[in-house]
């Protein structure tokens, strides 16, 4: 019989994840590393997956969705380079893990989830864990969050076939958006979108695999 890992064991697993999966692969931003060391990733998956929560891959969170691999969460958080006080929008709350990481970086986090039960459970989980400042809503993230725009950064965690125009519009001048683009059944690329002097620039960062971006009917 296995003993349940204690809180300390999770801390150790988390520290190991940060060293082996993040630092060794080029994540250097100290605020991001500290966030990844702090947020209890195991509490964002079901109890039977707690022991796998710090492994090097995505994990199921129900409703056919997944929580991204730790490296991808850290990479996306690092590349948008947000500072305290800046506003960030996430599309695809899922478990709420990426939103919690973002909340360690700034007090102004907005996150949208299209699947109602996931939106509800993530919102409750974030409340219970003390992330009371995160603004959550259940909606189709294609339209962004116009009332809270413009954003310094936008993080999209589901793969779109094209970049939703409302999200480009809601990006601040000088802002950064990170978004997986491509068809659900073929190769997708993580794209960095920047807006400078009203002009949109895109940079292809790496091939990735995300769950598909859905649309409300
Ligand atoms: N960031 C999440 C990962 C979730 S996976 C985490 O840290 O756990 C991607 C999520 O995007 C899924 O929960 C999916 O339901 C959601 N999603 C897909 N299309 C969406 C849309 N149009 N608007 C909002 N959420 C969407």
Do you find a cis peptide bond into 166, omega within 30 degrees of 0?
no
Cβ 113 under 6 angstroms from ligand 1: yes
Question: What are the φ and ψ backbone dihedral angles of 211, each rounded to 5 degrees?
Answer: -70, 155
Cβ 151 under 6 angstroms from ligand 1: no
Please give the distance, rounded to the nearest whole angstrom, from the Cα atom of residue 144 to the centre of ligand 1: 13
b vs e for 41-57, b when ≥16 Cβ sit within 10 Å of the residue's Cβ?
Answer: bbbbbeeeebbebbeee
Set 34, 68, 77, 186: catalytic member: 68
Share of the chain above pLDDT 90, in %: 92
Mutate to test the pocket of ligand 1, among 42, 93, 141 (most ligand atoms within 8 A of CB): 93
DSSP state of 26: T
Q: Model pTM greater than 0.85?
A: yes
Q: What sign for the dihedral angle of Cα 98, 181, 118, 45? A: negative
Q: How far is it, in rounded angstroms, from Cα 180 to Cα 207?
A: 9
- Please give the pLDDT value at position 198: 84
Cβ 121 under 6 angstroms from ligand 1: no
Residue 5 banded pLDDT, cuts 50, 70, 90: low
Instruction: Supply 162's token pair.
Output: 């094209």
Average predicted confidence (pLDDT) for the chain: 95
Nearest CA to ligand 1 atom 4: 94
**Do residues 153 and 177 touch, judged by C-beta distance below 8 A?**
yes
Cβ 112 under 6 angstroms from ligand 1: yes
- Please give the pLDDT value at position 162: 96
Give the number of C-alpha atoms closer than 13 A to the C-alpha of residue 170, restricted to the C-beta side: 25
Q: Check whether 210 has a pLDDT greater than 90.
A: yes
Q: Check whether 1 has a pLDDT greater than 80.
A: no
């Amino acid at each position: 019989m296995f003993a349940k890992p204690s809180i300390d064991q999770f801390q150790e697993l988390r520290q190991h994840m940060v060293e082996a999966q993040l630092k060794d692969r080029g994540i250097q931003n100290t605020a991001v590393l500290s966030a990844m060391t702090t947020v209890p990733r195991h509490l964002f998956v079901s109890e039977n997956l707690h022991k796998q929560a710090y492994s090097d891959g995505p994990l199921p969170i129900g409703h056919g969705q997944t929580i991204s691999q730790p490296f991808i969460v850290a990479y996306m958080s690092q590349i948008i380079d947000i500072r305290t006080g800046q506003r960030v929008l996430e599309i695809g709350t899922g478990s709420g893990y990426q939103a919690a990481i973002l909340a360690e970086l700034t007090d102004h986090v907005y996150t949208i989830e299209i699947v109602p039960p996931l939106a509800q459970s993530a919102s409750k989980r974030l409340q219970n864990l003390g992330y009371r400042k995160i603004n959550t809503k259940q909606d189709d993230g294609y339209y962004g969050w116009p009332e809270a725009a413009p954003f310094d950064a936008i993080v999209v965690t589901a793969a779109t076939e094209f970049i939703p125009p409302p999200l480009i519009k809601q990006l601040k001048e000088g802002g950064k958006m990170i978004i997986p683009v491509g068809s659900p059944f073929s190769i997708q690329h993580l794209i960095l979108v920047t807006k400078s002097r009203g002009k949109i620039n895109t940079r292809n960062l790496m091939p990735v695999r995300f769950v598909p971006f859905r649309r409300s009917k």
